[in-house]
Structure 1
Amino acid sequence: MPHALVRDRKLYYELHGNHAGTPLVLAMGIGGSCRGWLPIQVPEFARHRRTLIFDYPGVGNSEPDDAPFSTGDLADTVAGLFDALAIERAAVLGAFMGGMIAQELALRHPERVERLVLVGTYARADAKRRMLLAHWRELARQGVPLEVLVRDRLLWTAQEETIEQTDLIEQMIAFFSRDGAPLSSELFARQCDACLAHDTLDRLHEIRQPALVICGRNDALTPPKFSRQLADEIPDARLVTFAYGAHLVMVEAAEAFNRAVIEFAAEN
């Protein structure tokens, strides 16, 4: 298994594709491991661009770190991974928490980011998001089984048409609670804390990289208002709202999503 030593911790990563030039880096959302990108995004992206996926500290095959962390801390970790892998610059795609980390990476390490793709994320949580994330955090700290937490999350992340596909939903629950997201309940709670504290709203105007902001029209976790705000405040940003898709737009509208990302990443 490939690991890189970053901030005194071993981080698991995978590089796919053999293309020259700047890679595309995929930053996963809350509660997920990098394996979540493998079935749908990585094969397509790696046909066009070298693609890096990785696990955050304590997630999947990465070494645990018991220290508290913020989205800014995780952005520094990503920059450290770039150093370890001799990556000077990259296009960075982040979903939900990964999108928050991508914002901080562009702000704290602008020379490392070629362009941004921000998917189903926000610059600052509103009251409803704060209540929901605090709810998830407390469930995790009370010892609620991860499978129950995943079911709760899917109610907010999958659109109704997806939830009606019972077999698919059960596969997702199995993947995110066992196969694809081995993380502790306490780490999930700390990820919730990081998302709660994330706030780049007053700094978004400092992001100079081109940015593609993507959302699903039916996203209940991060409704389109958050994506519009990001696109309005980042100087060189454009917004794409998919009519079909919710928070899991990269799964529910996979073909259109992948095409939009590939075309944006290829722009000069």
Structure 2
Amino acid sequence: MPFATRDGVRLYWRLDGDDAAPPLVLLNSIGTDMALWAGCVPALAGRYRVLRIDTRGHGASDAPDGDYDLPMLAADVIAVMDAAGVDRAAVAGVSLGGMIAMQLALDHGERITALALICTSATMDAAAWDDRIATVRRDGTAGIADLAMDRFLSTGFAATHPAEAASLRRGLIAMADAGYAGAGAAIRDMAVIDRLPGLALPVLVVAGDGDRSTPFAGHGERIAAAIPHSETVHLAVGHLAPVEAPQALAGALIAFLTRDAATDAAAATLFEAGLVNRRRILGDAWVDASLARRTDFTADFQAMITRIAWGEIWGRPGLDEATRRLLVVAITASLGRWEEFGLHVRAGLSRGGFTRDALKEVLMQTAIYAGVPAANTAFAEAGRIIAELEGTGS
């Protein structure tokens, strides 16, 4: 088993993936060990040299008595990176791991290329953690097991995955009391929030929508606000995202870490080009309303269709615009996509994209090739739109 030793404390670590791949350090939450990341490793190790570490006091690492602090735990990570031959790395950390990651970037910025801060916080209730530490030092981790488990997993996941919940509970109770209490002191005493605006590296904040321990409101949002250039991703998970949604989390990390400035600039150019076509075909009012309705869940889809459908396809020179408009009308009628059909009929008629006679001929031909019922509904939908346009003088 590979160990690094710092100040007489042994720290367990493990490497997965190709030695030539870019390195990615994964840090666990309080009360768990590197196995927290087991579900993510297969996807991540295909792209990265994945270095997992059992935080001091956790897993196979030593658990000395006394209070730990974030600078100490960050220095532990640097010692492990040195032992593993990793000069610079991106770091992803859950909860306590995210706090250590922030401290790493603040104290050892030259060694850190990017941060992914997952279900974590830069400010916690010191009094609550003081009480928890006292309970663990008096009663052991069993004394806070119910509290911790209630905050580890979302209610739905715990109910449908009893084996995973039981395994987490066993691991928590089995860990060294001194390790949990020492790490709790690091959480209690952390002082990073005021220094975060000085971070210049890429930062991803991952929020769990079912996280009751460090909900985005009051925790992740404060990190995002303190680091203006940071990005935020929301996942439908509780506090331990790698357990509840390993593939979704791995996908978010890969998407974040593989982007670069040139790629972002190219995507922005394609988006703007597609937006020009989209506005010309559908009108500013409709496009502005559509963009205003974007959410974290739909924004990537909206960006994709603007770049590809409106930029690439509608921008091709092989067909004139009226033909493309009428093709969309015929296809959406044939497929029964009436919302999209109505959108393009309205836009085509009101913006001079095609005539009513052209629309009629397209629907007549649709009746032959896609069926009379489809054309029947299409004529009814189009007739309703024509009546509305006549009523407004359009």
| Alignment-derived partner of residue 137 in structure 1 | 133
* Residues 5-154 of structure 1 mapped to structure 2, 5 A cutoff: 5-38=5-38, 40-125=39-124, 129-144=125-140, 146-154=141-149
Task: Give the root-mean-square deviation of aligned CA atoms.
Answer: 1.8
- 2:118–2:207: 8 Å Cα contact kept in structure 1? yes
Q: Which has the higher strand share?
A: 1
- 2:90–2:114: 8 Å Cα contact kept in structure 1? yes
1:235 and 2:235 correspond: no
Aligned-partner SS, 2:139:
coil
Aligned-partner SS, 1:80:
helix
Give the Cα–Cα distance (whole angstroms) in 2 for the partners of residues 67 and 171 of structure 1.
Answer: 27
| Alignment-derived partner of residue 275 in structure 2 | none
- 1:207–1:235: 8 Å Cα contact kept in structure 2? no
- Higher RCO structure (Cα 8 Å, ≥6 apart): 1
Give the Cα–Cα distance (whole angstroms) in 1 for the partners of residues 171 and 66 of structure 2.
Answer: 27
- Residue 262 of structure 1, CA deviation: 1.4
Aligned-partner SS, 2:13:
strand
Give the Cα–Cα distance (whole angstroms) in 2 for the partners of residues 172 and 62 of structure 1.
Answer: 18
- Residue 67 of structure 1, CA deviation: 5.0
Aligned-partner SS, 1:93:
strand
Segment of structure 1 superposing worse, 5-14 or 106-115:
5-14
Aligned-partner SS, 1:164:
helix
Segment of structure 1 superposing worse, 226-235 or 104-113:
226-235
TM-score in terms of structure 1 length: 0.89
| Alignment-derived partner of residue 247 in structure 2 | 255
- Residue 82 of structure 1, CA deviation: 1.8
Segment of structure 1 superposing worse, 149-158 or 42-51:
149-158
Deviations 1:167-187 (A, max 9, x none): 442233224334xxxx32122
- Residue 64 of structure 1, CA deviation: 3.8
Does the C-alpha gap of structure 1 residues 220 and 152 become closer, same or farther in structure 2, counting only changes over 3 Å?
A: same
1:163 and 2:158 correspond: yes
| Alignment-derived partner of residue 173 in structure 1 | 169
Give the Cα–Cα distance (whole angstroms) in 2 for the partners of residues 130 and 67 of structure 1.
Answer: 17
Does the C-alpha gap of structure 1 residues 193 and 160 become closer, same or farther in structure 2, counting only changes over 3 Å?
A: same
- Residue 24 of structure 1, CA deviation: 0.5
Aligned-partner SS, 2:201:
coil
Give the Cα–Cα distance (whole angstroms) in 2 for the partners of residues 149 and 68 of structure 1.
Answer: 18
Segment of structure 1 superposing worse, 61-70 or 215-224:
61-70
Does the C-alpha gap of structure 1 residues 241 and 85 become closer, same or farther in structure 2, counting only changes over 3 Å?
A: same
- Residue 148 of structure 1, CA deviation: 4.8
1:205 and 2:197 correspond: yes
Matched length: 258
- Residue 9 of structure 1, CA deviation: 2.8
Does the C-alpha gap of structure 1 residues 131 and 162 become closer, same or farther in structure 2, counting only changes over 3 Å?
A: farther
Amino acid across the alignment from 2:145: V
| Alignment-derived partner of residue 390 in structure 2 | none
Deviations 1:37-93 (A, max 9, x none): 22x122221111110011123322223433532111111121122222221100000
- 1:220–1:246: 8 Å Cα contact kept in structure 2? yes
- 1:215–1:227: 8 Å Cα contact kept in structure 2? yes
Does the C-alpha gap of structure 1 residues 224 and 58 become closer, same or farther in structure 2, counting only changes over 3 Å?
A: closer
Aligned-partner SS, 2:126:
helix
Amino acid across the alignment from 1:130: A
Aligned-partner SS, 1:142:
helix
> Structure 2: where are the runs of 5+ without partners?
261-394
Give the Cα–Cα distance (whole angstroms) in 2 for the partners of residues 10 and 138 of structure 1.
Answer: 25
> Structure 1: where are the runs of 5+ without partners?
none
- Residue 234 of structure 1, CA deviation: 1.2
Give the Cα–Cα distance (whole angstroms) in 2 for the partners of residues 41 and 209 of structure 1.
Answer: 23
Aligned-partner SS, 1:15:
strand
Percentage of identical aligned residues = 29
TM-score in terms of structure 2 length: 0.62
